Amino acid sequence: MKIPSDPIIAVLCGGTSSERTVSLGSGAASALALSASFPTRLFTVDADALPADLDPARHVVFSTLHGTFGEDGGMQRLLDAAGVAYAGCDAAASALIMDKTATKAAAAARGINVAKGLTFSASEKPSVEAVIAALGDQVVVKPNDQGSSVGLTVATDRTVLAQALDGITEGNWLIEERLVGRELSVGVLNGKALGVVEIRPKSGVYDFASKYTKGATQYLAPAPLPEALTAAAQKAAEIAYAACGCRDYSRVDFMLCEQNVNNPLYLLEINTLPGMKETSLLPMSARCAGLDFTALVRELVSPAVQRFRR
């Protein structure tokens, strides 16, 4: 069969994770923007499976499936098995990065600062005393393998920590020492950092509500930082991206930590399929580098189009 030089971009959205609603918004916005550059079709995914009429001879996938299955390597493994070209990180990198502890270990091996933490399953929860002895009484409790700050709790004392632990009934979890400072986000496109965005949640915590409630968070793009610190954040993002085997694009988040004046950048997480509405963090980062939303999505999918043509 002759492969066409101009594929149809299959935008995947929805999915079965707790981030389905966010994904639906990302997919709709991305499909509209991609249609300015490519023939485009939006697929709503309702099961942990490939869409029935996805065709490796005609389609290149641009996935906006956030969270479990979409972002953890599950969908990527199915696409690989079916011979479908797709944008973004491959299955191995996706699986590694969905595991926050594994991501931190890979980045720390390349010299990136990470918070001290404890990883555990719901069936083997540590005691409050053990957590405080290891990390202090100011900690962050969150799932080890979820996105969009789902399930995040900032425990500022023993009582809140005990309540957070009592509420854990399933899954794998991470407790980290709380880092205090300014939260930064850096988009990385083909290994090169874009602009640095500062995130200022009005509540003081960038949790699910702060992310998705209109007006709850202020975003500064570019972040008001000294030139040297901006360059340091961009370099750290590129190192973390490479350390975890990222491909095409990702978004890397840091805390500019007040507790370490000499080396203040600490990795928070990497997002392989970040939010993709015009107001999302990766598009903000791209605008700092001169890429509007339409140009950005074209650049994000272009490496996959080239792989399709080869």
Contact 293, 33 (CB under 8 A): yes
Tell whether 195 and 303 lie within a shared domain: no
Q: Which CATH number fits the domain that encloses residue 211?
A: 3.30.470.20
Of the candidates 23, 63, 271, 280, the residue annotated as catalytic is 271
- Catalytic: 19? yes
Tell whether 61 and 142 lie within a shared domain: no
Give the pLDDT confidence of 251-269 residue by residue, as tens digits.
999 999 977 778 899 999 9
User: What average pLDDT does the segment 170-196 reach?
Assistant: 96
Asked which of 83-92, 194-203, 222-231, 239-248 is least confident by mean pLDDT, the reply is: 194-203
Number of domains in the chain: 3
Tell whether 268 and 205 lie within a shared domain: yes
Of the candidates 25, 172, 200, 212, the residue annotated as catalytic is 212
In a domain, 72, yes or no: yes
What's the confidence (pLDDT) of residue 188?
98
What's the confidence (pLDDT) of residue 94?
98
Of the candidates 251, 266, 285, 287, the residue annotated as catalytic is 251
Of the candidates 27, 67, 117, 275, the residue annotated as catalytic is 275
Range of the domain at 240: 96-113+180-272
- Catalytic: 275? yes
Tell whether 212 and 103 lie within a shared domain: yes
What's the confidence (pLDDT) of residue 205?
67
Q: Which residue among 177, 199, 224 closes a domain?
A: 177
Give the pLDDT confidence of 37-58 residue by residue, as tens digits.
999 999 999 999 999 999 999 9
Cβ-based neighbour number of residue 18 at 10 Å: 17
pLDDT surpassing 90 at residue 150: no
Q: What strands, in cross-sheet order, belong to the sheet with 153-155?
A: 117-121, 172-177, 139-143, 153-155
Give the pLDDT confidence of 166-175 residue by residue, as tens digits.
999 999 999 9
In a domain, 287, yes or no: no
Of the candidates 90, 198, 248, 253, the residue annotated as catalytic is 253
pLDDT surpassing 60 at residue 148: no
- Catalytic: 253? yes
Of the candidates 269, 280, 285, 287, the residue annotated as catalytic is 269
Of the candidates 148, 149, 185, 250, the residue annotated as catalytic is 148
Tell whether 71 and 147 lie within a shared domain: no
In a domain, 68, yes or no: yes
In a domain, 282, yes or no: no
What's the confidence (pLDDT) of residue 77?
98
**Band of pLDDT at residue 72, cut at 50, 70 and 90:** very high
- Catalytic: 148? yes
Query: Which residue is associated with the tokens 């001879």?
Result: 57
Of the candidates 15, 19, 26, 183, the residue annotated as catalytic is 19
Tell whether 186 and 264 lie within a shared domain: yes
User: What average pLDDT does the segment 52-68 reach?
Assistant: 96
Q: Which CATH number fits the domain that encloses residue 34?
A: 3.40.50.20
Tell whether 303 and 169 lie within a shared domain: no
pLDDT surpassing 70 at residue 6: yes
User: What average pLDDT does the segment 75-96 reach?
Assistant: 98
In a domain, 280, yes or no: no
| pTM for the structure as a whole | 0.92
Tell whether 147 and 14 lie within a shared domain: no
In a domain, 289, yes or no: no
What's the confidence (pLDDT) of residue 261?
74
Task: With CA atoms as reference, report the closest residue to 63 among 23, 5, 96, 99.
Answer: 23
Q: Is the peptide bond before 222 cis (omega within 30 degrees of 0)?
A: yes
HEC string of the chain equals CCCCCCCEEEEEEECCCCCHHHHHHHHHHHHHHHCCCCCEEEEEECCCCCCCCCCCCCEEEEECCCCCCCCCCHHHHHHHHHCCEECCCCHHHHHHHHCHHHHHHHHHCCCCEECCEEEEEHHHCCCHHHHHHHHCCCEEEEECCCCCCCCCEEECCHHHHHHHHHCCCCCEEEEEECCCEEEEEEEEECCEEEEEEEEEECCCCCCHHHHHCCCCEEEECCCCCCHHHHHHHHHHHHHHHHHCCCCCEEEEEEEEECCCCCCCEEEEEEECCCCCCCCCHHHHHHHHCCCCHHHHHHHHHHHHHHHHHC
pLDDT surpassing 50 at residue 35: yes
Tell whether 147 and 132 lie within a shared domain: yes
Mean pLDDT score of the chain: 93
Q: What percent of the chain has pLDDT over 70?
A: 93
Give the pLDDT confidence of 284-299 residue by residue, as tens digits.
999 999 999 999 999 9
In a domain, 26, yes or no: yes
Tell whether 154 and 261 lie within a shared domain: no
Give the pLDDT confidence of 106-115 residue by residue, as tens digits.
999 999 999 9
In a domain, 277, yes or no: no
Tell whether 14 and 54 lie within a shared domain: yes
Q: Which CATH number fits the domain that encloses residue 141?
A: 3.30.1490.20
Tell whether 79 and 30 lie within a shared domain: yes
